[in-house]
């Protein structure tokens, strides 16, 4: 971490201050991470445990895109794996594990979802589904280093203290 991204410390202390307005970008990143995580977790939960991944694939991928250029095997694969990915990514974001890698993968998911929607409906309104998630994702990626309240960071700080 460079000096410009290090959270402020109390005078005479080397530990970061608690979540306050002294670290507003970290607080924004924290809440954005949690909101995006909850959205993904709950979407994944419904698709995996209520709908079922294969039914999700059939109803939302295979049947709607049967006449498109996309091979049926790819539709089945994406349709069945995206719900599981959403569930795992949501948990990882909420807990704060592998945030950067998970966030980049979520960005790729948003590209796939957007392409799918506009393939069926060229004037698809991205403001209702994709854009809110992208805004949250952008905040996590832009200011995630300032988010002091994630499991990865807490474990790294604990290991550093033990050395």
**pLDDT of the residue at 1:** 44
**pLDDT of the residue at 2:** 44
Residues 130 and 145: their CA atoms lie apart, in Å, by 24
**pLDDT of the residue at 3:** 43
The 3-state DSSP class for residue 49 equals: helix
Residues 65 and 71: their CA atoms lie apart, in Å, by 9
Kindly report the pTM of this predicted structure.
0.84
**pLDDT of the residue at 20:** 54
Contacts of 94 (CB under 8 A, 6+ apart): 33, 34, 37, 38, 41
Contacts of 37 (CB under 8 A, 6+ apart): 89, 90, 91, 92, 93, 94
Residues 87 and 37: their CA atoms lie apart, in Å, by 9
Residues of the chain with confidence (pLDDT) below 70? 1-21
**pLDDT of the residue at 19:** 53
* Longest CA pairwise span in the chain (Å): 67
Rg of the chain, C-alpha, whole Å: 19
Q: Which residues share a beta bridge with 16?
A: 9
């Amino acid at each position: 971490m460079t000096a410009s991204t290090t959270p402020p410390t109390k005078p005479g202390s080397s530990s970061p201050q608690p979540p306050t307005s002294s670290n507003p970008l970290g607080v924004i990143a924290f809440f954005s991470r949690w909101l995006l995580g909850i959205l993904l977790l709950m979407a994944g939960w419904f698709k995996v445990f209520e709908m079922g991944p294969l039914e999700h694939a059939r109803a939302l991928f295979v049947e709607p895109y049967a006449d498109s250029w996309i091979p049926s095997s790819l539709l089945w694969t994406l349709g069945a794996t995206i719900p599981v990915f959403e569930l795992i990514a949501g948990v990882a974001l909420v807990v704060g594990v592998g945030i950067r890698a998970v966030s980049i993968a979520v960005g790729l998911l948003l590209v796939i979802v957007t392409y799918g929607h506009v393939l069926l409906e060229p004037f698809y309104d991205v403001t209702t589904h994709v854009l809110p998630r992208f805004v949250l994702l952008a905040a996590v990626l832009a200011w995630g280093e300032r988010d002091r309240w994630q499991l990865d960071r807490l474990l790294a700080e604990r290991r550093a203290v033990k050395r």
